[in-house]
């Protein structure tokens, strides 16, 4: 059994206020740089709602909510690695209970096979028009405790306080294992 | 502590032009390179003897963040060349990635098994920014493949840290100085940096404790600096199997890793240009 949550970031940190994006591409110095970025470009994109700095602030808040409500009932968390960053990751994104990795599904299989109680976190918060993502947050708590439903509702209140709208929250079978 | 059984580096100064045909073609090429390197580094190790197999990088992140490059495509391509393809990838910890990956592996407690780490920094789309810039001088691109044997008690000393202040390299040097005060090693590699920047090492550390800064020879090879250092040391006949060495890596952003290692008597050292 796993507890499943899906949310969507629906607001900027400072709603109705202009905020500098702080987005900076690496400098382009030759034709190939322009061509390469054109190759990676997207025809459709979600609205960027966070700057680089705000995204780390948001992730820190999310991790704080999860740690606060899951704490001792969770051995480890895995979060999808979405770089590049133009600034250092905050302290909340380090620790022996967390690892950032590209393929969360592959790591889920590892931790499930190990018998761990863990949470997988997949975020798609978009910082610029080239990034993949829909501003979503998907969370799965594997081997949750008996009171996981109550803890999830407390987490949801925490997520809503930082701008996430809940799309789905339920319990599911673990089919991936 | 960990024993290194194979350490090899394949320099790839220019990525094949096929990458410009699209993400899938690029993934096929990256996967082939990783698969070939892992197969070459692990000829006598069966897949079930490898408990942890991770690819880390500093410079390849943007290709994944845009969705242009897909990790499963790379794994699929690598699987055509090895039955031990990398299980996962992280670029979050930059040049210190191999240390953070080892820290994550250490949590798993894997006594007596093998760990394979590939450090892949390939300038797939030949961005001029990555070829070199004032932050670290010229770059060196390639893949380092390292095969570790975990001791039978499953324990090995390791730190993987993030700086507390804006002086990340200084904090790394202080941490390394403390490490060397208690370690039996007495000799550590250093990240390859331009000579002016590398003065920070001798400001904080005794020069006799440091292996050469090979920036002039190879450029900055990101997380592979560590392994290029040891390959060069071995090829010049200065590496003693059985002796303890300190392996380090540090990113300019303020992440670093330190561990002590030994090298097996029959350790494979290879540098392929």
Q: Quick one: average pLDDT of A99-118? A: 96
CA distance A131 to A48: 9
Contact indicator for A78, A117 with CB cutoff of 8 Å: no
User: What pLDDT is attached to residue A176?
Assistant: 55
CA distance A103 to A80: 7
User: What pLDDT is attached to residue A25?
Assistant: 74
User: What pLDDT is attached to residue A174?
Assistant: 87
Interface residues from chain A to B (CB-CB < 8 Å): 26-30, 32-33, 35-36, 39-42, 76, 81-85, 87-89, 91, 94, 96, 99-103, 106-107, 110, 114, 130-132
User: What pLDDT is attached to residue A4?
Assistant: 96
User: What pLDDT is attached to residue B231?
Assistant: 98
Q: Nearest-CA residue of chain A relative to B252?
A: A88
Say how many domains are in chain B: 1
User: What pLDDT is attached to residue B85?
Assistant: 98
**Residue spans of chain B under pLDDT 70:** none
Picking from A36, A96, A100, the nearest residue to B125 by CB comes out as A36
CA distance B66 to B87: 21
Question: Are A103 and B92 a contacting pair at CB < 8 A?
Answer: no
User: What pLDDT is attached to residue A22?
Assistant: 75
**Chain A within 8 Å of B165 (Cβ-Cβ)?**
no
A16-25, A139-148, B145-154, B158-167: which range is least confident on average?
A16-25
Beta carbon pairs, A and B, within 8 Å: 98
User: What pLDDT is attached to residue A42?
Assistant: 86
Is A82 a residue whose pLDDT tops 90? no
ipTM score of the complex?
A: 0.95
**Chain A within 8 Å of B126 (Cβ-Cβ)?**
yes
User: What pLDDT is attached to residue B246?
Assistant: 98
Question: Are B90 and A102 a contacting pair at CB < 8 A?
Answer: yes
| 3-state SS, one letter per residue, for A59-120 | HHHHHHHHHHHHHHHCCEEEEECCCCCCCCCCHHHCCCCEEEECCHHHHHHHHHHCCCCEEE
Rounded to the nearest integer, the mean pLDDT of chain A is 92
DSSP letter assigned to residue A7:
E
Picking from A84, A96, A132, the nearest residue to B107 by CB comes out as A96
Q: Report phi then psi at B179, rounded to 5.
A: -60, -45
CATH number, domain of B257, equals 3.40.47.10
**Chain A within 8 Å of B103 (Cβ-Cβ)?**
yes
> Closest Cα to residue A134, out of A20, A22, A19, A48?
A48
Q: Nearest-CA residue of chain A relative to B168?
A: A88
User: What pLDDT is attached to residue A12?
Assistant: 86
- Surface-to-core class of residue B196, CB atoms within 10 Å of its CB (0-12 exposed, 13-18 middle, 19+ buried): exposed
Q: Report how far apart the first and last C-alpha atoms of chain B are (Å, whole number).
A: 31
Is A177 a residue whose pLDDT tops 70? no
For B78-113, how does the pLDDT look when each residue is reduced to its tens digit (9 = 90+)? 999 999 999 999 999 999 999 999 999 999 988 999
Task: Enumerate the residues of chain A whose CB falls inside 8 A of the CB of residue B63.
Answer: 40
Task: Enumerate the residues of chain A whose CB falls inside 8 A of the CB of residue B64.
Answer: 82-83, 102
| pLDDT cut 70: percent of chain A above it | 99
Task: Check: pTM over 0.80? Answer yes or no.
Answer: yes
The encoded tokens of residue B116 equal 């394979």
Contacts of B35 by beta carbon, 8 Å cutoff, 6+ apart? B77, B78, B79, B80, B81, B82, B85
| 3-state SS, one letter per residue, for chain B | CEEEEEEEEEECCCCCHHHHHCHHHHHHHHHHHHHHHHHHHCCCCCHHHEEEEEEECCCCHHHHHCCCCCHHHHHHHHCCCCCCCCCEEECCCHHHHHHHHHHHHHHHCCCCCEEEEEEEECCCCCCHHHHEECCCEEECCEEEEEEEECCCCCCCCEEEEECCCCCHHHHHHHHHHHHHHHCCCCCECCCCCCHHHHHHHHHHCCHHHECCCCHHHHCECHHHHHHHHHHHHHHCCCCCCCCCEEEEEECCCCEEEEEEEEEEEEEEEEEEC
CA distance B122 to B261: 26
Q: Nearest-CA residue of chain A relative to B255?
A: A88
Q: In a mutagenesis test of the B interface, which of A34, A37, A39 is the best target, namely the one with the most B β-carbons within 10 Å?
A: A39
Domain limits, chain A: 2-12+43-172
């Amino acid at each position: 059994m796993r507890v499943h949550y899906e949310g969507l970031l629906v607001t900027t940190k400072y709603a109705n206020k202009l905020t500098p994006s702080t987005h900076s591409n690496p400098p382009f110095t030759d034709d190939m740089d322009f061509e390469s970025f054109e190759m990676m470009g997207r025809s459709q994109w979600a609205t960027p709602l966070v700057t680089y700095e705000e995204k780390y602030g948001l992730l820190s808040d999310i991790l704080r909510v999860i740690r606060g409500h899951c704490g001792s009932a969770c051995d480890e968390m895995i979060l999808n690695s979405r770089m590049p960053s133009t600034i250092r990751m905050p302290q909340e994104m380090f620790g022996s209970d967390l690892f950032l990795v590209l393929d969360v599904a592959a790591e889920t299989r590892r931790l499930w096979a190990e018998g761990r109680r863990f949470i997988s976190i997949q975020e798609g918060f978009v910082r610029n028009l080239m990034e993949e993502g829909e501003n979503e947050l998907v969370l799965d708590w594997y081997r949750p405790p008996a009171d996981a439903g109550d803890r999830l509702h407390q987490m949801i209140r925490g997520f809503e306080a930082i701008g996430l709208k809940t799309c789905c929250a339920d319990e599911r079978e673990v089919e991936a294992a | 502590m960990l024993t290194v059984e194979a350490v090899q580096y394949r320099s790839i100064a220019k990525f094949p032009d096929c990458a410009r045909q699209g993400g899938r073609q690029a993934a096929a090429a990256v996967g082939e390179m990783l698969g070939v390197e892992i197969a070459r580094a692990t000829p006598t190790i069966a897949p079930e003897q490898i408990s942890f197999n991770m690819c880390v990088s500093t410079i390849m992140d943007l290709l994944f963040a845009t969705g242009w490059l897909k990790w499963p495509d790379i794994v699929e391509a690598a699987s055509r060349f090895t039955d031990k393809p990398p299980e996962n990838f992280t670029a979050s910890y930059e040049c210190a990635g191999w240390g953070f990956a080892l820290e994550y592996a250490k949590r798993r407690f894997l006594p007596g098994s093998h760990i394979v780490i590939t450090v892949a920094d390939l300038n797939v789309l030949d961005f001029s920014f990555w070829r070199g810039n004032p932050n670290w001088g010229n770059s060196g691109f390639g893949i380092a493949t390292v095969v570790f044997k975990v001791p039978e008690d499953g324990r090995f000393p390791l730190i993987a840290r993030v700086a507390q202040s804006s002086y990340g390299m200084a904090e790394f040097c202080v941490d390394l100085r403390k490490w060397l005060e208690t370690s039996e090693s007495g000799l550590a590699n250093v990240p390859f940096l331009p000579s002016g920047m590398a003065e920070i090492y001798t400001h904080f550390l005794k020069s006799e404790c440091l292996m050469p800064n090979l920036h002039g020879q190879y450029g900055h090879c990101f997380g592979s600096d560590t392994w290029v250092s040891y390959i060069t040391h071995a090829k010049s006949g200065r590496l003693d199997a059985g002796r303890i060495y300190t392996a380090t890596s540090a990113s300019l952003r303020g992440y670093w890793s330190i561990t002590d290692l030994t090298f097996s008597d029959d350790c494979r050292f290879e540098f392929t240009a």
